[in-house]
Amino acid sequence: MKTFGPRLQAAMAELGPVCVGIDPHPELMQAWELPVTAEGLEQFAEICVEAFDGLVALVKPQVAFFEAFGSQGIAVLERTISVLRASGTLVLADAKRGDIGSTMAAYARTWLDDESPLCSDAVTVSPFLGFGSLEPALDLASRNNHGVFVLAATSNPEGAQVQLARNTDGRSVSQTIVDEVAARNVGEQLGSVGIVLGATLASAPDLTELNGPILLPGVGAQGGGPDEVRKLVGTHGRAAVPSASREILREGPSVTALRDALARTTDSFAFLQE
Ligand SMILES: O=c1ccn([C@@H]2O[C@H](COP(=O)(O)O)[C@@H](O)[C@H]2O)c(=O)[nH]1
């Protein structure tokens, strides 16, 4: 099996660079005339799978919205991930896990071990307990040909307080994270360790050495768009994966309307793959 980076690259070349998020906000479930229950969650997820499966490079379920329904929500998430992956659609679990190394190993087994019911193609992780604490996830991902997306510069304005702080060597925390990720991707076609870079940001760390996928959440509902993404990624457009959730999901529950919204978003970012 190919490593995650080239698999994502192939999917983006075929289907366009966009990632669509499955974020079952209670307000969206109500707007879709679904009950805000585990049953409603299941229907929401099934509609998303029907709308997006096979039509998008990456699907990103936001784990928090499933966890909110307890064990039944987790069961819906398991089914959603496995149905998408069974048909070859790449799944990024947006779990943003980060902890001391020994606990990180348990998170890694949950999201990146092929025997786990929640195993996904990739997972988001938080490096703010120290980049080295991510080692168990990076190691397991590498052994199993999965991917990891490391938060580097997030789309929320509060992130700057931590992420733009300077280290003793003068680099920002964000830049340090990008550099650590870059070291993981040396020699790869496209590395399997990516970063998360908010599409809402005014500027980006230096991405020259990154050689990994750049997930850009914040498209649409948070105000990011093609112009912002173009400016942020510069010459690294082929590694850029703009991500939108609410902007597309608001068009539901019609599968046709969801697909149309996805197609519009994909068209608006087609320039990244040119
Ligand atoms: O910096 C970040 C990291 C992750 N996210 C996640 O992406 C989606 C965005 O949803 P929209 O509805 O498109 O705003 C959501 O799951 C966030 O948790 C992010 O927004 N910014």
Q: Number of folded domains in the chain?
A: 1
Vertex 257, ends 254 and 261: CA angle to 5°?
140
* The pLDDT of residue 54: 98
User: Residue 7: which pLDDT band, with cuts at 50, 70 and 90?
Assistant: very high
Cis omega (within 30 of 0) for bond into 253:
yes
Q: Is 218 in the pocket of ligand 1 (CB under 6 A)?
A: yes
- Ranges assigned E (strand) in the chain: 19-22, 58-61, 90-97, 122-125, 147-153, 193-197, 214-217, 240-244
Return the CATH number at 72.
3.20.20.70
Place of tokens 């669509």: 20
Name the closest-CA residue to atom 11, ligand 1. Answer: 245
48 is in which domain, residue-wise?
Answer: 4-273
Residue 36 DSSP class: S
Name the closest-CA residue to atom 15, ligand 1. Answer: 62
* The pLDDT of residue 37: 98
* d(C-alpha 272, C-alpha 262), whole Å: 16
Q: Is 126 in the pocket of ligand 1 (CB under 6 A)?
A: no
Q: Give 157 Cα–ligand 1 centroid separation in angstroms.
A: 12
What pTM did the predictor assign?
Answer: 0.99
Q: Which atom of ligand 1 is nearest to the CA of 244?
A: 13
* The pLDDT of residue 12: 98
Q: Is 246 in the pocket of ligand 1 (CB under 6 A)?
A: yes
Q: Which atom of ligand 1 is nearest to the CA of 65?
A: 16
Candidates 237, 214, 212; CA nearest to 6 is 212
Q: Is 196 in the pocket of ligand 1 (CB under 6 A)?
A: yes
Q: Give 119 Cα–ligand 1 centroid separation in angstroms.
A: 21
Q: Is 89 in the pocket of ligand 1 (CB under 6 A)?
A: no
pLDDT at 1 over 90: no
- Quick check: is 2 catalytic? no
Q: Give 60 Cα–ligand 1 centroid separation in angstroms.
A: 10
* d(C-alpha 165, C-alpha 175), whole Å: 10
pLDDT digits (tens, 9 = 90+) for 224-266: 999 999 999 999 999 999 999 999 999 999 999 999 999 999 9
Q: Which atom of ligand 1 is nearest to the CA of 154?
A: 1
Exposed, middle or buried by CB within 10 Å (0-12, 13-18, 19+), for 143? exposed
User: Residue 207: which pLDDT band, with cuts at 50, 70 and 90?
Assistant: very high
CA–CA distances in Å: residue 193 to residues 52, 92, 165: 24, 12, 23
Q: Which atom of ligand 1 is nearest to the CA of 197?
A: 1
Q: In a mutational test of the pocket of ligand 1, which residue from 23, 66, 148 has the highest number of ligand atoms less than 8 Å from its CB?
A: 23
Residue 30 DSSP class: H
Q: Are 243 and 270 in contact (CB under 8 A)?
A: no
DSSP per-residue codes, 173-213? HHHHHHHHHHHHSTT-SS-SEEEEE-TT-S-----TT--S-
Place of tokens 């980076």: 5
* d(C-alpha 122, C-alpha 96), whole Å: 11
Q: Is 210 in the pocket of ligand 1 (CB under 6 A)?
A: no
User: Residue 2: which pLDDT band, with cuts at 50, 70 and 90?
Assistant: very high
Q: Are 197 and 222 in contact (CB under 8 A)?
A: no
Q: Is 224 in the pocket of ligand 1 (CB under 6 A)?
A: no
